[in-house]
Structure 1
Amino acid sequence: MSSSTPCSACTWTADRQENCRYNSNVKLFYGVSDRGVWSLGSRYILKERSSQPPNSEVPNLRFLKEHTSIPIPTVVRSWEEDGRAFAIMDRVPGTPLSAIWSTLSEVEKKSIAKQTAEYLGQLRELHSNTMQGLHDQPIYSAFLFPTGYGVPHGPFSSDDELWSEMKQALQGIPEDVCLRLRERMPSAAPYTFTHGDLTFVNIMVDDGRVTGILDWESSGYFPVWWEFTCAGIGLSNEDKEWKNLLHRYMPDHTNAREFWLDFYALSKYPNLNERGMALLKSTTK
């Protein structure tokens, strides 16, 4: 990059920075897709992203502050302008669990998993009459509804409505296979407030204590079994190890997870993996 080319984040050129004694404490430390997270000194962070949904983190955080004692960021201020959503939040103390996982003892890992599950237990008490986001908004999940990211779904008020939406991902699967899979789907009630992305990147830890659970933008009222089920989706070997350990301390919905694993495998038709091919073969005999 030329020394006269402006930085896409701050618009300064290398020449301008070299000729200025100012050393900024405003830093971009995370960016993906159309969003970024800036550190504002040591006390606050600024999140910027598109104002298009899913973008419910601010109302979700305020709701959880009122109804739980889960350690989460405090929203200082939020606003929208020119199609962008901004939120200034308190910085959660600690270090992402992902950064220290390999250095922890088994005892420490179990303690963090147990603490996290105890906080999640507070969500088990938050119910709704429908599967939805807060304030009658739709829910979002590319794993529960594998038809694309950022696609709204619901609200739903019955298992039949939920299955009808899920079934859209099973194009090409014989109807008798779909019927057998539907018979195995556990009841979604009670519709329970769910985080939905418990990767160890989103767990903050300080001196063996869980100090924060982050990233609530796609949270909402999902099937009671969805938190356990999606917590089994590991993004890496270490993340999978973390989630397997977390499972030990969560309400057990193994049957629901096995149902979903079969559903998700079939949703990849015609590019089925071994699980999907075996399932299709066994149910079409």
Structure 2
Amino acid sequence: MALPTDTKTPAPPPAAESPPINDGFWMRALALFLVSFANMQWYRRWKKSNWGVFYISSTLCVRCCERTRLNEARAMQLVRQHTAIPAPKIYCSFEHKGLVYILMERMPGKPLANGWVFRSDTSKAKILAQLKPMLAQLRNVPRPSPQNGHGLPKVNADVVSGIDGGQFFDGNLPNKRFWGPFNTVKDFHRGLRGNLMVVPDEYTEERYTDLRKLIALQEDYVASPPVLTHGDLSANNILADGDNVTGIVDWETAAWMPAYWEYTNAWHVNPHNPYWQEEVPKFLEAYPVELEMEKLRRRIYDTY
């Protein structure tokens, strides 16, 4: 029978959600009014919303849906403070009646997914050349100290967590959407496989072999400290105007993750657009061993 490991490190103390940003009365009132206005039927027909984003104007939008969290706003704020990545400017973020609202800048440009396969090799190379140093900067963003009593009692560079030490969101992970925090990358790996340390007897021969291999790879893995990770670098979340990168958006999965996570997630990000897999190693450091480890995990748990 499968047994949970008895050597699992206790989880970090529970951490609160990231704090709100500029959430004074008038900013909250403005954001709520704009969402109410943008949600009118005639307006929705005129200005189509997308993935929980209400487009107010060419330079302003509000993010609000069931999976929107304050962690996302803090991630964009942190990125703008420490990098030259064109992430949206945050005007305010707050929670109201169980929903999080983020009033932010609407970035110019169109998603790379719009016509990427029809771009010339020269055009593609120009865009990928801009992305590479941007993502290198993201790896060097320092982990923030707890704000206003939120987050972990002190900065712990080994924790896999949301921006301020709390949970992180990833809709592609098995069984649940919100994960962590984990004290170490090894604890994170164990969490991904339900803390299994031995393979259940009832598994098929193929699955038995795969899971046994995965356990060995993850238990022997020597990890560097987690780094700030976007977590969803698809061609839909990178904007460009011509050959110029104008924005990286949709930071809902941003977290402090294993160094390889950005690469393996970007490689798997869209099963309907396999062309993107060819581009990922051109702007992110490749992790071939970790990619094979993730392919194995996703096959075992039937996750693309």
TM bracket, shorter-chain basis: 0.7 to 0.9
Residue 68 of structure 2 contacts residue 100 of structure 2 at CA under 8 Å; is this kept in 1?
Answer: no
SS at match of 2:227: strand
Residue 211 of structure 2 contacts residue 300 of structure 2 at CA under 8 Å; is this kept in 1?
Answer: no
Change (3 A) 1:136 1:111: same
SS at match of 2:232: coil
SS at match of 1:46: strand
Change (3 A) 1:67 1:93: same
Aligned twin of 1:136:
165
Change (3 A) 1:249 1:38: closer
Aligned twin of 1:29:
48
1:87 aligns with 2:102: yes
1:164 aligns with 2:206: no
Aligned twin of 1:205:
240
The structure in which a higher percent of residues are strand is 1
Q: How is 1:65-144 mapped onto 2 (pairs within 5 angstroms)? A: 65-126=80-141, 128-143=157-172
1:124-144: CA deviation from partner (whole Å, max 9, x where unpaired)? 21363311111111223244x
Q: Deviating runs (4+, > 4 A) in structure 1? A: 24-28, 52-55, 169-177
Residue 112 of structure 2 contacts residue 240 of structure 2 at CA under 8 Å; is this kept in 1?
Answer: yes
Residue 27 of structure 1 contacts residue 38 of structure 1 at CA under 8 Å; is this kept in 2?
Answer: no
The CA distance in 2 between the partners of 1:53 and 1:47, in whole Å, is 7
SS at match of 1:45: strand
Residue 68 of structure 2 contacts residue 101 of structure 2 at CA under 8 Å; is this kept in 1?
Answer: no
SS at match of 1:60: helix
Identity %: 24
Change (3 A) 1:72 1:225: same
Residue 28 of structure 1 contacts residue 37 of structure 1 at CA under 8 Å; is this kept in 2?
Answer: no
Residue 160 of structure 2 contacts residue 181 of structure 2 at CA under 8 Å; is this kept in 1?
Answer: yes
Letter in 2 for 1:226: W
Stretches of structure 2 that go unaligned for 5 or more consecutive residues are: 1-37, 144-156
Change (3 A) 1:27 1:38: farther
1:178 aligns with 2:211: yes
The CA distance in 2 between the partners of 1:167 and 1:71, in whole Å, is 35
Letter in 2 for 1:45: C
Tell me how far 1:11 sits from its aligned partner.
Answer: 5.2
SS at match of 2:93: strand
1:82-112: CA deviation from partner (whole Å, max 9, x where unpaired)? 2222222112111111123133111111221
Aligned twin of 1:147:
175
The CA distance in 1 between the partners of 2:224 and 2:280, in whole Å, is 22
Matching residue within 35, 43, 65 for 2:59: 43
- RMSD in angstroms over aligned alpha carbons? 2.9
Change (3 A) 1:65 1:72: same
Question: Size of the alignment, in residue pairs?
Answer: 245
Structure with the bigger RCO (C-alpha within 8 Å, sep 6+) is: 2
Letter in 2 for 1:70: I
1:260 aligns with 2:279: no
Tell me how far 1:251 sits from its aligned partner.
Answer: 1.3
Stretches of structure 1 that go unaligned for 5 or more consecutive residues are: 1-7, 13-23, 274-285
SS at match of 2:283: coil
The CA distance in 2 between the partners of 1:45 and 1:26, in whole Å, is 16
Q: TM-score, normalized by length of structure 1?
A: 0.76
1:34-73: CA deviation from partner (whole Å, max 9, x where unpaired)? xx322222221122223x6655211111111111111111
Aligned twin of 1:17:
none
Matching residue within 178, 196, 204 for 2:231: 196
1:9 aligns with 2:39: yes
1:215-265: CA deviation from partner (whole Å, max 9, x where unpaired)? 11111111111111111114255x331342121332120110101101110
Letter in 1 for 2:215: R
Matching residue within 187, 201, 205 for 2:222: 187
Higher mean alpha-carbon deviation, 173-182 vs 201-210, is at 173-182
Tell me how far 1:194 sits from its aligned partner.
Answer: 0.6
The CA distance in 1 between the partners of 2:259 and 2:117, in whole Å, is 31
Letter in 2 for 1:10: M
Higher mean alpha-carbon deviation, 245-254 vs 66-75, is at 245-254
The CA distance in 2 between the partners of 1:135 and 1:91, in whole Å, is 24
Q: Which has the larger radius of gyration?
A: 1
SS at match of 2:65: strand
